[in-house]
Amino acid sequence: MMRIAVAALCCALAAPAAVAQAYGERSALPPGCERACLEKAAGAYVDALRQRNPSAAPFAQDIRFTENSVEMPVGEGLWATATDVARDGMMASDPDTGNVAWFGHAWEHGKLLFLAIRLHIDARGKIDEAETVLARKGTMPLIFGTGKEPHNPIWKQALTPEQSRPRARLKAVADSYFNTVEYNDGQVFAHFKPDCSRLENGISTTAATANSNNSASVAEGCEAQFKLGIYRINKQLRERRFPLIDVERGIVVGTTFFDHANYFDEYKLTDGRTMKTLLKWPNALSIMEAFKIVDGQIQTIEAIFDYVPYGMHSPWAEEKK
């Protein structure tokens, strides 16, 4: 009798699913664009950008485009200034949601910049969302590489079943990284591989070199830096989103703002050393960050970010209201 009742309840609840989709999904149908299809679209976007020719990219009619968290028509921003785009971008794909990402560098009127792109591809293979974060070398104290640092080859490797984790866990690990960065006082929420590395705007910030002038010169390695509380200035990591989870390769792409309120202009590391903030006034970083997660631990990270006004809002986050 109980068995029948449960079965009936099951069917009663299941019936509406035939006409509705899971909460937050735009369609009950999977997008239908697999890895090759997604990466082809990303390649077409990059090629079109290289030519400053939006009509060469497979854009949907209702394309939404943002550059550093400002919505604008395709054709403006970097589309009007790009002179070349690197050929060796790091890519990640999420066939379950139709998202694909590209991390690399480009040139604007001949000047190097770092670029992260997140595209959403619709069921027809058309790009209907293009979200970009650019890091330009300006007057602000921004970490900035030379464009010669290679992407870690591990990004391209598929994980074994033992190394892999389900989507929800991958997202949780990436979020635990953001939790660790936020109000970084030495408490570490994320799990890191011992040889974890990070590339930020094309430069390693976890392995010191002779000319290092960033976090790596204070402490090397992902976990060591966080235990030291180097990133204490991050009042909050706001409007976090994880639009892409590449389960096959163990990659999560997240976006957020690092809010540097700078209520204080110096702070202490957990070992007692005193640090001065680079700037004394409120500012924020708009960031797109990719995490390679192996065995549930962060193996490597790439991030592209640039300064934006403190508290700036993401047009993409509005959709979550």
Partner 1 sequence: MRPLLSMAALAAATLALPAAASAAPCDEACLLDLADQTMTALAKQEWRSLPWAETVGYSENGVRLMIGDAFWGSAGKTPGKKAFAAADASTGNAVWIGTMYDHDAPAFGALRIKAPQGQIEEIEFIVMRRGLPGGFGDPTAFAIDKRKARLVATAERRSRDRLVDVANAYLGTKQRNNGTLLAQFAPDCEFRENGLSLTHGTTGPAALAKGCEAQLKLGAYRPIERIRDRRFPVVDEASGLVVAISLQDMPQRDTSFTTTDGRTVSTADTYPMSRIAIELLRIEGDKVARSEGVSVMQPLNMPSVWKE
Q: How many residues bind partner 1 (CB under 8 A)?
A: 34
Phi then psi for 194, rounded to 5 degrees?
-60, -30
Q: What is the DSSP string of 229-277?
A: TTTTTEEEEEEEEEEEEETTTTEEEEEEEEEE--S-SEEE-TTS-EEE-
C-alpha closest to that of 244 among 70, 119, 124: 119
| Beta partners for residue 203, in sequence order | 200
Q: How far is the CB of 202 from partner 1 (least distance, A)?
A: 17
Stretch that binds partner 1, among 5-13, 90-98, 104-112, 120-128 (CB under 8 A): 104-112
Taking CA atoms, 97 is separated from 16, 41, 57, 146, 291, in Å, by 22, 14, 20, 33, 17
Binding mask 225-264 for partner 1 (x = CB under 8 A): ------------------------------------xxx-
Nearer to partner 1, 82 or 303 (CB): 82
In eight-state DSSP terms, residue 320 is: G
Stretch that binds partner 1, among 23-31, 105-113, 114-122, 175-183 (CB under 8 A): 105-113
Site for partner 1 in 128-157 (CB under 8 A): 136, 138-141
Nearer to partner 1, 43 or 315 (CB): 315
> Is residue 292 near partner 1 by the rule CB under 8 A?
no
Stretch that binds partner 1, among 27-35, 120-128, 195-203, 302-310 (CB under 8 A): 302-310
> Is residue 170 near partner 1 by the rule CB under 8 A?
no
Taking CA atoms, 147 is separated from 135, 137, 200, in Å, by 12, 12, 11
> Is residue 318 near partner 1 by the rule CB under 8 A?
no
User: How many Å apart are CA 318 and CA 273, to the nearest integer?
Assistant: 40
- List residues binding partner 1 (CB under 8 A): 67-72, 76-78, 80-81, 108-109, 111, 136, 138-141, 261-263, 265, 279-282, 286, 308-313
